[in-house]
Structure 1
Amino acid sequence: MSDLVFRSLPYTDPVVQRLLEEIYLDQTERYGGPDAAAVDPAEFAPPRGDFLTAWQYGEPVGCAGWRSDGDNDAELKRMYTVPAVRGRGVAIALLAAVEDSARAAGRIRLILNTGPKQPEAIALYEKCGYDPIEPYGHYKDYAEAVFLGRVL
């Protein structure tokens, strides 16, 4: 996808904040409220993390970030593509860019959690080689939460 460009931006950047608002609206429609897991913007700053935005024809069309406590795992957070580009490979390319960023920072595995009301996300992760892992974090005790991971 030669017309797709990735840029690292601070989590507090206005472009990122606009995409995050779209994520929260989607989560509210699906689950009745946005993701309740705590996120500190500083977690997405190198060397502990990175936050990528996907751009196509000069417009932001997606975002995703990873954060880490300094161990071998990086946690994927706030993966999103705007509805207009879904089904066109943007999400796969964005996920690959996040994996590359985490790998370059020395992380060995990318982990994530999502929910059953996001079957398209689950299908994407499974297609990209993600397998079930042990529950962790804020949603570890939620029976319906889905936890996936992949060795980088």
Structure 2
Amino acid sequence: MISIITAAKEDIRASESEQLIRELSEELGRLYDSDGTAGFQASDVEVPRSAFIVARSEGHPVGCGALRPINETTVEVKRMYTRPDFRRKGVAQAILAEAERLALEYGYTSIKLQTGPKQPEAAALYERVGYYRVPIYSGNWDLVLAYQKDLQR
């Protein structure tokens, strides 16, 4: 049986949210030999027009993502993560759909994100759902893959 995936804004300080972020940071730390935080802090999404999104399957947290403002018209997706057992089941797409819905609600006209070369599945997903490559817009690591999607009202 296929379970329904839901994604909605939740409190980033909730224990389930913090656990998802820890799992992502550990995974990215192993992939890139770093602390895995990618410069993200919980306070990044405790400002107006930002959000932390949790995806759930049968009530259980299975993934997350965050919306962090860049400027008045552009918001960035950060902390995209799907627990390994739930990958390729629509979790990331549900998170992105909710991120895009919220971005429009908050009045943004474009959404950006960056991923790394050791995450080809993520890059393929972003391209599949309408994101296109742009120059790196944050940080100084030249291996970053940056993407953007223009939002339509």
TM-score normalised to structure 2 length: 0.89
SS at match of 2:122: helix
Match for residue 90 of structure 2?
A: 89
Are 2:138 and 1:142 aligned?
no
SS at match of 1:95: helix
Match for residue 68 of structure 1?
A: 69
Q: Take 2:8 and 2:95, find their aligned partners in 1: how far apart are those partners?
A: 10
**Deviation, structure 1 residue 2:** 7.0
Match for residue 39 of structure 1?
A: 40
Can you give the 5+ residue segments of structure 2 that lack an aligned partner in the other structure?
none
Amino acid at match of 1:144: L
Match for residue 51 of structure 2?
A: 50
Q: Take 1:67 and 1:28, find their aligned partners in 2: how far apart are those partners?
A: 21
Q: Take 1:123 and 1:69, find their aligned partners in 2: how far apart are those partners?
A: 24
Match for residue 20 of structure 1?
A: 21
Q: Take 1:126 and 1:111, find their aligned partners in 2: how far apart are those partners?
A: 12
TM-score normalised to structure 1 length: 0.90
**Deviation, structure 1 residue 145:** 0.9
Q: Is the 8 A contact 1:10 1:45 kept in 2?
A: no
- Which contiguous aligned blocks of 4+ residues in structure 1 show a shift greater than 4 angstroms? none
Q: How many residues align?
A: 150
Can you give the 5+ residue segments of structure 1 that lack an aligned partner in the other structure?
none
Amino acid at match of 1:142: W
Q: Give the % identical residues.
A: 33
**Deviation, structure 1 residue 25:** 1.3
**Deviation, structure 1 residue 131:** 0.7
Coordinate RMSD, CA, aligned = 1.7
Q: Is the 8 A contact 1:110 1:151 kept in 2?
A: yes
Matches within 5 A, 1:63-142: 63-138=64-139, 141-142=140-141
